[in-house]
Structure 1
């Protein structure tokens, strides 16, 4: 079956087996290896991406279900020369160590930044609880999110939507 979608702002049309996951399509067919395969069961969050502005676990989503949709991966956040504000904040707060979970953490963090109802550290931690970090960088991740949420809020609520943040 042919999947026609937009991936990181670029149109993509590719024929895939109907059983292929979005994660495998991204990594193996499109060469976008920033999205990681952790548990392959939807329990760790390493494979988190956006589909039409909503975070999804790409290891659980069939690629064919994304036809006509916009997919954003960690490669779509910034450039090597100009990092996304969350990427900068993750660096500033040592929000990663080995880095394996970082792409999923960043994608989930974008959704948390955009959600104006999440205002406390406990709410942020709960919203990020689907993303595991074996190195224990959770405190830095929360601090990075708080900083970017504060900047987004100061810039105006229209800047705090997933599409505007990406």
Structure 2
């Protein structure tokens, strides 16, 4: 056990977060995301039984967002014609704002198939049991600065 580390962050996940360097990307996927097929050439970490918001909040306690890009946080854009509401995105805005002073301005959207392409090159994909649709989120790691 360690002090100050959110309990939801497993040893495997902490190791991966530590290994990641500046500009590496991390996908936290919902339960419908094809994590295993997208992650054939990357690390896939299973976090079954957990949702994206609780993992996002815990990760952002230890994971700096990139300050060298305009949108270090990206969501999977809803496909044209899909009549899907995305209230979870508001939750993401609140969590990101809590951990990054730039607030929701750092959050962008990536078209669904472009998101898949980006996910294939991410450092790691975290597979969750999140039931919300279009709940996938991609984070780009920044630099840890002594405070």
Give the structure-2-normalised TM-score. Answer: 0.29
More helix by share: 1
Give the structure-1-normalised TM-score. Answer: 0.26
